[in-house]
């Protein structure tokens, strides 16, 4: 399911190459295309992204996707009007983003279908029932946080939000969170529950899934041509 809602490395690299080439042709050879995926993973969007102790030590609560987004935002602040025009075009039309999208996905509509499956799947995950089912596992995590680290949190989301509000410059809270996730098996339980709820998505959205499968197949074929 997660693969259905994400892009392969080949497709991402083909888009980056097409975008870079287009900008160079329009007089901006130094335009830097940020590396990595520019859309959040499905489980992260739904609030169920796992957090390992190793990742917490390396980057705290900063998601890889957020780092790419920050790079994009920083670059946009230093771009000239002419460069922005070349990138975005007028009202999203005629720019290098549109050209690269068409080169890889065939059309903006095909790209939109792949994005839609992510949004639709998240809708199936963001409901009260799944959070109720996760209650016992989340309570074990909260107990671990309190007993081992003296933290009074009801969920990882609460810990993450406090981390952001306090602008902490260390990864201690994220490491504690990840430690208790591993000790209680919370991430494993969240993933298992998410897969169970997504089964209804797979059953009810067959038409959309078929469209996405076709769109991604086209993107993969175009990506191979672009990268060859």
Query: Which SS3 state, helix, strand or coil, does residue 31 take?
Result: coil
Q: Confirm if 179 and 141 have CB atoms less than 8 A apart.
A: no
Tell me the domain boundaries of the chain: 9-227
Whole-angstrom Cα distance, residue 226 to residue 73? 27
> How large a percentage of the chain has pLDDT more than 70?
89
- Residue 32 corresponds to which tokens in the numbers above? 């830097």
- Residue 116 corresponds to which tokens in the numbers above? 């839609």
- Return the pLDDT at 207: 93
- Return the pLDDT at 35: 59
Q: How many other CB atoms are found less than 10 A from the CB of residue 20?
A: 17
- Return the pLDDT at 173: 92
> If we measure between CA atoms, which residue out of 47, 41, 181 comes closest to residue 126?
47
C-alpha torsion sign, points 160, 162, 168, 172: negative
- Please spell the DSSP secondary structure of 88-124, one letter per residue: HEETTEESHHHHHHHHHHSSHHHHHHHHHHHHHHHHH
Q: What is the pLDDT of residues 84-118, one digit of tens each?
A: 999 999 988 999 999 999 999 999 999 999 889 88
Mean pLDDT of the chain: 88
- Return the pLDDT at 65: 54
What's the whole-number mean pLDDT along residues 71-81? 77
Q: What is the pLDDT of residues 26-70, one digit of tens each?
A: 999 988 876 554 566 777 777 788 999 999 999 888 765 555 566
pTM of the model: 0.74
Whole-angstrom Cα distance, residue 111 to residue 92? 14
Q: Between 212 and 32, whose confidence is greater? A: 212
Q: Which residue has the tokens 């504690």?
A: 176
Does the structure show a pLDDT above 80 at 214? yes
Query: Which SS3 state, helix, strand or coil, does residue 93 take?
Result: strand
Does the structure show a pLDDT above 60 at 124? yes
DSSP classification of residue 5: T
What's the whole-number mean pLDDT along residues 190-216? 90
């Amino acid at each position: 399911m997660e693969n259905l809602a994400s892009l392969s490395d080949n497709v991402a690299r083909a888009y980056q190459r097409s975008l870079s080439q287009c900008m160079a042709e329009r007089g901006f050879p130094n335009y830097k295309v940020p590396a990595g995926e520019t859309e959040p993973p499905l489980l992260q969007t739904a609030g169920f992204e796992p957090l390992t102790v190793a990742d917490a030590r390396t980057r705290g609560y900063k998601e890889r996707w957020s780092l790419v987004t920050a790079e994009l935002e920083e670059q946009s602040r230093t771009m000239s009007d002419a460069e922005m025009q070349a990138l975005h075009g007028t009202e999203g039309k005629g720019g290098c983003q549109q050209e690269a999208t068409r080169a890889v996905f065939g059309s903006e509509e095909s790209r939109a279908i792949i994005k839609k499956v992510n949004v639709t799947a998240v809708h199936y995950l963001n409901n009260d029932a799944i959070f109720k089912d996760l209650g016992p596992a989340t309570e074990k995590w909260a107990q671990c946080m309190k007993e081992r680290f003296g933290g009074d949190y009801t969920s990882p989301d609460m810990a993450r939000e406090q981390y952001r509000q306090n602008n902490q410059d260390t990864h201690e809270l994220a490491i504690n969170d990840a430690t208790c996730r591993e000790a209680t098996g919370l991430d494993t339980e969240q993933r298992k529950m998410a897969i169970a709820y997504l089964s209804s998505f797979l059953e009810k959205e067959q038409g959309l899934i078929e469209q996405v499968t076709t769109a991604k197949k086209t993107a993969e074929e175009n990506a191979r041509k672009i990268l060859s």
